[in-house]
Amino acid sequence: MTFSSLGLIDPLVRKLEELGYAKPTPVQAQAIPAVLAGRDLMAAAQTGTGKTAGFAVPLLQRLTLAGVVAPQCVRVLVLVPTRELAEQVYASFRSYGGNLPLRSFVAYGGVPIEPQISKLRKGLDVLVATPGRLLDLQTQGAVKFEQVQTLVLDEADRMLDLGFERELDLLLMTMPKQRQTLLFSATFSDAIRAMAKTMLKDPVSVEVSARNSTVKAVKQSVIVCDKKRKPELFLHLMKKKRWGQILVFVKTRKGVEQLVITLLEQGVRADSIHGDKTQPNRLRALARFKSAEVQVLVATDVAARGLDIDQLPVVVNFDLPTVAEDYIHRIGRTGRAGASGEAISLVCADEVELLSAVEALTRQTLKRSEEPGYEAEHRVPGTSAGGAIQKKPVKVLAPKAAERAKKRRFYK
């Protein structure tokens, strides 16, 4: 199958070839024809499988072939949960549409609103925005929705489930009822699927992998330890495994900064991304990481979606996420576009319920080990893929001890 066979016009096909897109991914092969046909769509696929191109490319074609935008109006509106994802999706539209005469822009909070208002005066074919800033623009009369022909919710589970309900309700009330609506994400809970049904009309459903599954190319494991020794263990693993660049997820903003301070004190080049940092500082930290100016990027879950980093070898869950679905998005920052990757979670005793939730969601029991010299005094109870937690803690042997025990059993 080729992009031409999906009905795409030559300028888009040529641009995709320039960008190195040899053939459509499974989600693209199913989504592009549906979007071109004007159908509503609900698409679930693992991270790194090309979901953005699955909606951006056909929407650019529809915009090119029909219609012009009026002042202060928008024809395609893409809503995303984070500033980082907004920048990434906007960059994708600009890249794919490089051969097309279309106007696009991005709007989010944390930066001055005036440049965004200025860009909207002549109207935009594509606007990528976070809900809060878009609502500010709409309230100030800077943007009109009467020409919206397609609404896209990217990372739709987060958009509908975690704190955006009020903004979405207010925005949807002002949009045309006759429109195309597209929902894209790596994960859809049953509750979100039920909610989405009220927004979509006779939708096409695309699900190219098992629901809430993780990428097979990512090797996943758990190292159990005591909470207080996590920083020490992380530094030990860095040296032992000779990690290059590492993306590390920490639960809280305070925890992020504490770990960065510890790393800097040990001579490790590190930077951070979290909600308390200004958007320019967040973008600067990401740019430094991508350019290998820093070795370790420590982040909260604002970075779990929207960070597209080529050849990222390792993701470390310094803390497990409070929301199990975020585990899938976190480890999806590695193993992208067919590459291999490794995801290691440092788990202490009081995180057993979070671990159980992750294993129940992904329907797997993660391989456990202990690092010699860093064995946990407070044992982590056993868990299973079904979500059960054993009352009796499980003794996890360090790799060498496990091998010795195996040999003893063999020679008995």
List the structure tokens of 113. Answer: 């609103």
- Residue 143 CA, chain-centre distance (Å), reads 27
- What are the angstrom distances between the C-alpha of 3 and each of 14, 33, 90, 107, 181? 10, 10, 21, 30, 23
From CA 89, how far away is CA 52, in angstroms rounded? 7
Can you give the pLDDT of all 412 residues of the chain as single tens digits? Answer: 889 899 999 999 999 999 888 889 888 999 999 999 999 998 887 666 788 999 999 999 999 998 899 999 999 999 998 888 899 899 999 999 988 999 999 999 888 999 999 999 999 999 999 999 999 999 999 999 999 999 999 887 777 655 677 888 889 889 999 999 999 876 676 767 777 777 889 899 888 755 555 556 788 999 999 999 999 999 999 999 999 889 999 999 999 999 999 999 999 999 999 888 887 888 889 889 988 899 999 998 877 666 667 678 899 999 999 888 888 888 887 766 556 789 999 999 999 999 999 998 888 899 999 999 999 888 888 887 766 777 655 555 455 555 554 444 433 4
**Residue 1 has which token pair?**
């199958």
Contact 103, 123 (CB under 8 A): yes
pTM of the predicted model, to two decimals? 0.68
Domains in the chain, start-ordered, CATH in brackets? 4-207 (3.40.50.300), 218-408 (3.40.50.300)
